Amino acid sequence: MTQDWTAVDGYIAGKLIGADPVLDAALSANAGGGLPAIDVSAAQGRMLELFARMTGARRILEVGTLGGYSTICLARALPEDGQLVTLELDPHHAEVARANLARAGLGDRCEVRVGPAVETLATMIAAGEGPFDLVFIDADKPGNVAYLDAALKLARPGSVIVVDNVVRGGGVLDADSTDRSVIGTRALFDAVASEPRLDATAIQTVGDKGWDGFLLAVVKR
């Protein structure tokens, strides 16, 4: 079954996305830099780009940069005077991401900030840096609730919040799990379910990345 999922992802990418030398170069640079191969798939990256375009996003916040693959996808949707701020814990990952963004011609509208995301987000909130039109959260899963809380403080009515890896191969069903990523994901669902400011759903996905999914939420107007 997993082989079929991967083959279908290849079909989707071939028919609807096509060759993308910039993203291919980013993946090669990530591998060369020793980064883990946990980027979103090509189809998922295009989905993120379309989400940003659908919302008319001019300011995007990303929590979890890695090598900048998803950052490139999101930034492609921005107007020339748009801005994307992406947060990365690892200085080496951030260095690779900056190079990838520069190679993609997007370095002028993307800022990679290094450090623990919770601390960076607190600084941004204190400085009144919001609102952001779209927030993409794809970092350590135990931090999901804190990232959601910060996203709400940096959002506006109508802002979109997207969280990756919320199904975890079905592990999200295990209330007795000791996996910190599963625990953090279940806590995220509880937080969203009890948050009156959000309309939300989650979508399961299969493909190159196995069985997982995205949580999608909109801040109520």
- 6-22: per-residue pLDDT in tens? 999 999 999 999 999 99
What domains can you pick out in the chain, each with its CATH number? 2-219 (3.40.50.150)
* Predicted pLDDT of residue 205: 97
- 184-203: per-residue pLDDT in tens? 999 999 999 999 999 999 99
What is the side-by-side strand order in the sheet with 160-164?
110-114, 83-88, 59-63, 134-137, 160-164, 210-219, 198-207
* Predicted pLDDT of residue 104: 98
Residue 3 scores a pLDDT above 90: no
Would you say the pTM of this structure is higher than 0.95? yes
* Predicted pLDDT of residue 145: 98
